[in-house]
Amino acid sequence: MDIGGANLKLADLSGHATASEFPLWRHPDELADRLIAELSAFPAAERVAVTMTGELADCFLDRAVGVRQIVDQVSQATAALELPAPVFYGVDGRFHDVIAAKQQTDVVAASNWHALATYVARSIAADGLLVDIGSTTTDLIPLRDGCVATTSRTDYDRLCEQSLVYLGGGRTPVCSIVDSLLYEGRSVPVMREVFATMDDVRLLLQYQIEAPDDLASADGKPRDRFHAANRLARMIGLDHRTASLAAMVDSAGQVHRRAQQLIAGAMSGLEQRGTGQLGTVVISGHADDLLPAQDSDTTIISLPTLLGTTLSRCCPAYAVAQLWSDESDYAVRSPIVSS
């Protein structure tokens, strides 16, 4: 499983996968109950292997507190289902038992990118660049000779390196992407409020289907094109009465192109430093429309095409299942015992 701050993703070795919204920052003490319900859909599970990013949720004082609480909640869930104690993947490329994970919190924190990249480098493309675009972030991970080719391990280091771009296809606020929108021939500064997100942009551009019954939007109203246009119009002080759907589709296109430019800039920065030389690009996640246009001599491998949309979205969870199954390479690390 991959435990994020906003989503839970589970997958097994057979390719059965599920992704669901769970705002961890609002309900951190309810994680175990939710995991019990989610795990019940995987009746053949023999062991649970975990990767996470949810420790970054601002309900936790710091990452160490977050890791320990997530470890405890997962342990409660597996115990309730009479499963063996879980194991936790770390950015050292190893699995850690419960006690070790709580001791070495910085190792297991924000580890899902490393698990995904390790699986891809070993099983899909030994060399190239992995581009994983999710709801909140974009990971740009160089692969060399079947290994993860970066020494960066923390979010701080990866932000500095530009291998972590805090921009995704769902929760990212529009006001963090553009400063202004061209509307009726005038450049209009956007309001610095979370009136609209990339979710609205992609709804308007029809990169994702409408879900009128889903109220997980910026204003709590339906995730359909009408309300998405209304939310985007608010960014420039308008609403559905004064801004047409067609005009907001045009505005959405401006935001979408800018998002692609930001990702392209990070990819270019990696390439210039020699850590992200292209040739093969493996695209993962559920917002591959944000991948910038590539040169004609670049080979694109699409995990949504290769694995299917749902499994691709849950690929970090699938990755830890696959890595854990290779018992010859992975011994669980136990707690450090001082002499």
Burial 241-262 (b: 16+ CB within 10 A, else e): eebeeebbbebbebbbebbbeb
- Identify the sign of the CA torsion 268, 271, 275, 277: positive
pLDDT for the residue 339? 34
- Identify the sign of the CA torsion 301, 307, 309, 310: negative
Residue 140 CA to residue 171 CA, distance in Å, equals 19
pLDDT for the residue 213? 94
Residue 232 CA to residue 178 CA, distance in Å, equals 12
Residue 246 CA to residue 6 CA, distance in Å, equals 31
pLDDT for the residue 59? 93
The dihedrals phi and psi of 309, each to the nearest 5 degrees, come to -60, -50
pLDDT for the residue 202? 98
For each of the domains in the chain, give its residue range(s) and CATH number, in order of start: 2-115+312-325 (3.30.420.40), 174-259 (3.30.420.190)
- Which alpha helices (DSSP H) does the chain contain, by range? 31-39, 63-80, 98-103, 105-108, 112-123, 155-161, 198-204, 225-234, 245-272, 303-307, 309-313, 315-325
The tens place of each residue's pLDDT in the chain, 339 residues long, gives 999 998 999 999 999 999 998 999 999 999 999 999 999 988 888 999 999 999 999 999 999 999 999 999 999 999 999 999 999 999 999 999 999 999 999 999 999 999 999 999 999 999 999 999 988 999 999 999 999 999 999 999 999 999 999 999 999 999 999 999 999 999 999 999 999 999 999 999 999 999 999 998 999 999 999 999 999 999 999 999 999 999 999 999 999 999 999 999 999 988 877 655 568 999 998 899 999 988 888 899 999 999 998 998 899 999 999 999 986 355 566 554 433
User: Would you give the end-to-end CA distance of the chain in angstroms?
Assistant: 34
Q: Contact, 44 vs 13, CB < 8 A?
A: no
Q: Contact, 99 vs 67, CB < 8 A?
A: no
Long-range contact set of residues 62-65: C-beta below 8 Å, sequence gap at least 24 = 63/105, 63/106, 63/109, 63/110, 64/105, 64/106, 64/109
| Residues paired with 246 in a beta bridge | none
| Residues paired with 144 in a beta bridge | 147
Question: What does DSSP assign to residue 197?
Answer: B
Query: Residue 264: how many CB atoms within 10 A of its CB?
Result: 15
Shortest CA distance to 45 belongs to which of 86, 76, 73? 86
Shortest CA distance to 139 belongs to which of 147, 151, 131, 129? 131
Cβ-based burial of 293 (10 A; exposed 0-12, middle 13-18, buried ≥19): exposed
